[in-house]
Amino acid sequence: MSERDQLFARPLAEIAGFRFDHQVVAVFPDMIRRSVPGYETMVAMTGTIAERYALPGTQCYDLGCSLGASTLALRRGIGARDCAIIAADNAPAMIERCRAVIAADSAPAPVELRLGDVRDIHFTNASVVVLNFTLQFIPPADRGPLIAAIGAGLVPGGVLVLSEKIAFADPGLDALMTDLHHAFKRANGYSELEVSQKRTALENVLVPETLDAHRARLRDAGFGAVDVWFQCFNFASLLAFR
Ligand code: GEK
């Protein structure tokens, strides 16, 4: 079990930009579960999707793996077929803890954990690529090249699972979804102060885009069928096929 997230519970004189450090790692599972509506469903269904699309003799990638929640879902979905997982994150504290999480799990698919930037990966022979809440932290200008590199590395029939916090073009709708998300966080025990300080910390660190922007980028990268398979307020997950 992870500790309860109280990182923003007390008034902070200065709010620094959010970083994935040891403090965050200690509370991460509690933080993401209480902050992202549908997180557990999206992670679990990542495994269900992998069960269908992971091909023997190929690789599956979990990009921005944090503590390996989606990696473990992928691993269960793959089962005993000959398919390896590459899980990457550029936060040393995350990879360090993730290594113990993976070691404690006994599913058969091999997992290679990589400390590094997902923008530096050369994707090859991939049947399933997972970007669960990671693209939102990549500078917008670098998102196109990353999606294109993933597209180029997928085998025909391969799939990308892309889960993100999203923005809405209509300002009224955007404000409503933000408000409903904050209500979700308050219902999960976060105070008004915690919600507001976390929002400030994520400013310019987590940059959400509209579903139209995601669809256009995927299309430009050569993906064929693209659609949303899950959405709750301003969080959504898409499937994109090669
Ligand atoms: C889950 N997928 O539980 N290269 C590698 N890793 C990165 C980069 C980058 N350029 N930028 C950010 N990260 C997980 C949850 S969390 C989502 C993903 C959240 C990593 C960062 O270190 C962090 O671990 C992860 O992406 C985002 O299914 O915290 O909202």
Structural domains in the chain, CATH included, are 14-85+100-114+124-242 (3.40.50.150)
Ligand 1 close to Cβ of residue 102 (< 6 A): no
Question: Whole-number mean pLDDT of the chain?
Answer: 94
Distance CA 201, CA 199 (A): 5
**Could you tell me what percent of the chain has a pLDDT over 90?**
81
Q: What pLDDT does residue 180 have?
A: 98
Cα separation values, 3 from 25, 26, 31, 117, 197, Å: 10, 6, 9, 27, 19
* pLDDT(21) > 70: yes
> Does 58 contact ligand 1 (Cβ within 6 A)?
no
3-state helix, strand, coil in the chain (%, to 5): 45, 25, 30
* H/E element, 142: helix 140-153
Closest residue by Cα to residue 187 from 3, 34, 6? 34
Q: How far apart are CA 69 and CA 202, in angstroms?
A: 22
Per-residue pLDDT at 205:
78
Residue 69 alpha carbon, nearest atom of ligand 1: 3
| Average pLDDT over every residue of 185-192 | 89
Half-sphere exposure of 34 (CA within 13 A, CB side): 20
Is ligand 1 within 6 A of the CB of residue 235? no
* Ligand 1 centroid to residue 216 C-alpha, Å: 23
Residue 67 alpha carbon, nearest atom of ligand 1: 3
Using an 8 Å Cβ cutoff, are 39 and 73 in contact?
A: no
pLDDT in tens, 161-184: 999 999 999 999 999 999 999 999
- Ligand 1 close to Cβ of residue 45 (< 6 A): no
Q: 85: CA distance to ligand 1 center in Å?
A: 16
pLDDT at 7: 86
**1 pLDDT exceeds 60?**
no
pLDDT per position as a tens digit, 209-232: 999 999 999 999 999 999 999 999
Question: Who's near 20: CB < 8 A, 6+ residues apart?
Answer: 66, 89, 91, 93, 94
The residue length of the chain stands at 242
Of 225, 229, 234, which Cα lies nearest the Cα of 169? 234
For residues 87-116, average pLDDT: 97
Indicate the top mutation candidate among 32, 130, 134 to test ligand 1's pocket, ranked by most ligand atoms within 8 A of CB.
134
Ligand 1 and 20: CB distance under 6 A: yes
Ligand 1 pocket check for 90: Cβ under 6 Å: yes
Q: Is 2 in the pocket of ligand 1 (CB under 6 A)?
A: no
More confident residue, 23 or 187: 187
Q: Is 117 in the pocket of ligand 1 (CB under 6 A)?
A: yes
What's the pLDDT score for residue 38?
97
Q: Which two tokens stand for residue 202?
A: 């994520």
Does ligand 1 lie within 6 Å of residue 89's CB atom? yes
For tokens 């005993």, name the residue: 80
